């Protein structure tokens, strides 16, 4: 009996996607070259959306990848890992992302609010996933820590812009 022994790796996340209720990409971050071109990425995203938008489950195996997902009002959130990846680890990334955005958007996680606060989304994803590696955080500190860092960076950026305007 042959068993497959995989090298241990911290690179658990292959992609993070957010789509609207029409299956259009709002945010996509790929951490490897599984889908190197935008055309391949869009085809993959369409396939994921078609397979998941009418189901109530949270996990799917698609094209040799593990996909965990969640929907809310008019948004679909996806975290993708390899077929050998632990679904609970991927789900913790998804929950952390969703709960962090929920706090940042004051529980108004919908397309319009997200589009108005894309900078916060970028910062949250960067804090949760570091180049495909999940940042290990306890659930208790995950959301507040990420929101605090994102809010601090956004305030710092805004104050830097204001100072620059006054110097002119």
What sign does the CA torsion over 95, 100, 105, 111 have?
Answer: negative
* Res. 86 pLDDT band, cuts 50 70 90: confident
- How many domains does the chain contain in total? 1
Cβ 113 vs Cβ 56: under 8 Å: no
Averaged pLDDT for residues 64-90: 91
Q: Is residue 81 part of a domain?
A: yes
Q: Is residue 7 part of a domain?
A: no
Q: Is residue 6 part of a domain?
A: no
* Res. 108 pLDDT band, cuts 50 70 90: confident
Q: Is residue 23 part of a domain?
A: yes
Q: Is residue 145 part of a domain?
A: yes
| Predicted local distance difference test score (pLDDT) of residue 139 | 47
Q: Is residue 66 part of a domain?
A: yes
| Predicted local distance difference test score (pLDDT) of residue 165 | 42
Averaged pLDDT for residues 54-60: 85
pLDDT digits (tens, 9 = 90+) for 1-10: 455 555 555 5
CA gap 152, 146 in Å, rounded:
10
> Which one has a higher pLDDT value, 162 or 31?
31
Q: Is residue 5 part of a domain?
A: no
In terms of residue numbers, what domain contains 133? 13-166
CA gap 124, 100 in Å, rounded:
7
Written as six digits, the tokens of 154 are 């956004």
Q: Is residue 8 part of a domain?
A: no
**CATH number of the domain bearing residue 92:** 3.30.450.60
Beta-carbon neighbour count of residue 68 at 10 Å? 24
| Predicted local distance difference test score (pLDDT) of residue 157 | 54
| Predicted local distance difference test score (pLDDT) of residue 150 | 64
| Predicted local distance difference test score (pLDDT) of residue 163 | 47
Averaged pLDDT for residues 125-136: 68
State the chain's mean pLDDT as an integer: 79
């Amino acid at each position: 009996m042959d068993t497959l022994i995989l090298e241990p790796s911290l690179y658990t996340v292959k992609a993070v996607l957010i789509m609207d209720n029409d299956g259009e990409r709002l945010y996509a971050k790929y951490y490897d070259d599984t889908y190197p071109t935008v055309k391949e990425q869009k085809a993959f995203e369409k396939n994921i959306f078609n397979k998941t938008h009418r189901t109530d489950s949270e996990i799917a195996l698609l094209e040799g990848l593990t996909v965990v997902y969640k929907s809310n009002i008019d948004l679909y959130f996806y975290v993708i890992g390899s077929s050998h990846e632990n679904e609970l680890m991927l789900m913790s990334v998804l929950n952390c992302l969703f709960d962090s955005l929920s706090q940042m958007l004051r529980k108004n996680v919908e397309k319009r609010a997200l589009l108005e606060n894309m900078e916060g989304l970028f910062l949250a994803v960067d804090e949760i996933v570091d180049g495909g590696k999940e940042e290990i955080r306890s659930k208790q500190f995950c959301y507040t820590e990420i929101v605090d860092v994102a809010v601090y960076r956004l305030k710092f950026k805004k104050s830097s812009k204001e100072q620059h305007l006054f110097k002119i």
